[in-house]
Structure 1
């Protein structure tokens, strides 16, 4: 019976396979190094606010390979595993990789812009002189300002790029039926993607206490995904309806 067992990665497209492997390596390394107290990779590789003392230029790329916990990486990698191969075969490996990183960059750009707007709303400027937020500790929104500037204010995850892939899938394969958790009937991809984006927009505009999800990063990835599909004039394959 073991002769018929197949490696679940065997039929994956090459870029998707390598992205999965890299994300898992980063996750395991982050957890292991933090566990033994050697180094906190979140501080070095998560994307921090551009004016934060913890910001480093490489974080605009490295943040895409960092994840907050096992559930975060599982759902992102599951989506990459499900939707990535079909998109890579349609776009080609080079363009697919470009698409993935461009949407990830767009996700961070929109999230940073929203953070800058909110910081400006709190203290009247986009930057904090000397990176010292103590004078603002009695200002409304101080907790958000502290989170933005502290080591715990970093943005992590491939979710922005994943949202770009979801939008691409919905545009190129709009009528493929998907089974979504808690919904007993299949939903066409185009409707599922639109619904998910509306949900994220609602979450971004109506934040709830304790919500640590970077909703605008998701929306940024989705927006860049839509723009790229249009600019590149990509069409759905003829053998799909």
Structure 2
């Protein structure tokens, strides 16, 4: 038992933000699934549902005054297996891409504040629009979808032209994948899942604004925004890509490079090489071009 505790503590201490978020979501899902099973066997299903409902965001804004913690707890709760499966798969793949470029910097903030933004949009909508007047007291918000959509939007804004294999069948750029998910949410609001769709849009909006601000677009308008949400003010996407290349492709300079190590290549030459990487990949570079990139990074 002591060995298990030691291994668990080491995993928590050494694991990435991505793993920690996954662990919290999966751990809570398993725990509450067991709890609901026990309550069901003792014919206390209604009691268990009432307790768990105190972890969901209520549709009635007045109830939120007495349950403010739900703005955070609902982000880690899921209704069933497929609910958590889809959310965690989407989060994992998007977070891995994000992590490749920014090493989890700001990922917790995007996840949590994206979820809070989704909850705020959900509450405002359910308590303002007439269509929800008769259902606000019955509605509730649960799941990590708004948080996940914030991560999707932030990643797609960071590297919009990054390509992924969708279902392992065809390539699609992140910006188009994010756009398709937004369309799905919008189309589902008047038909199947109005509360969830609105919350997703709230999370998406936060992720989009967060990353635009991270890149420096909103510095003139939100002077203190970076103080709370971002740690940098300007992102050069070519520098991000170059950083990725060097981390994964260590360079061994030859004798000519050593002789010219103090000579910096000009920006036009660097941009031409980076364009070649984006079109054909790092392996398409000649040895001379790799040497040039290495000298530019010193």
Per the normalisation by structure 1, the TM-score is 0.74
Residue 190 of structure 1, aligned match among 163, 175, 186: 175
Query: What is the deviation of 1:92?
Result: 4.5
- The separation in 1 between residues aligned to 2:100 and 2:162, in whole angstroms, is 16
Match of 1:4 in 2: none
1:1-241 to 2 correspondence within 5 Å? 14-37=16-39, 39-40=48-49, 41-49=51-59, 50-52=61-63, 56-93=67-104, 95-118=106-129, 120=130, 142=134, 145=135, 148-150=136-138, 153-181=139-167, 184-204=169-189, 207-208=190-191, 211=193, 214-233=196-215, 235=235, 236=237, 237-239=240-242, 241=278
Deviation for aligned residue 1:87: 1.7
Alpha-carbon distance in 2 for matches of 1:216, 1:35: 31
Find the structure with the greater CA-based Rg. 2
Question: How far 1:82 moved relative to its partner?
Answer: 1.1
Higher relative contact order (Cα pairs below 8 Å, separated by 6+ residues) = 1
The aligned length equals 203
Q: Is the 8 A contact 2:78 2:142 kept in 1?
A: yes
CA distance in 1, matches of 2:161, 2:86: 23
Residue 55 of structure 1 deviates from its aligned partner by 5.5
Give, in whole Å, the separation in 2 of the partners of 1:53 and 1:96.
Answer: 26
Give the deviation of 1:90 after TM superposition: 3.3
Q: SS of the counterpart of 1:186?
A: strand
Other structure's SS at 2:166 match: coil
Q: 1:216 to 1:122 in 2, by over 3 A?
A: closer
TM-score by length of 2: 0.61
Contact residue 42 and residue 66 of structure 1 kept, 8 A: no
The Cα of 1:19 is off from its aligned counterpart by 0.6
User: Within 1, Cα distance between the matches of 2:174 and 2:162?
Assistant: 6
Q: Which residue of 2 is the match for residue 132 of structure 1? A: none
The alignment yields a C-alpha RMSD, in angstroms, of: 2.7
Task: Judging by fraction of residues, say which structure has more helix.
Answer: 2
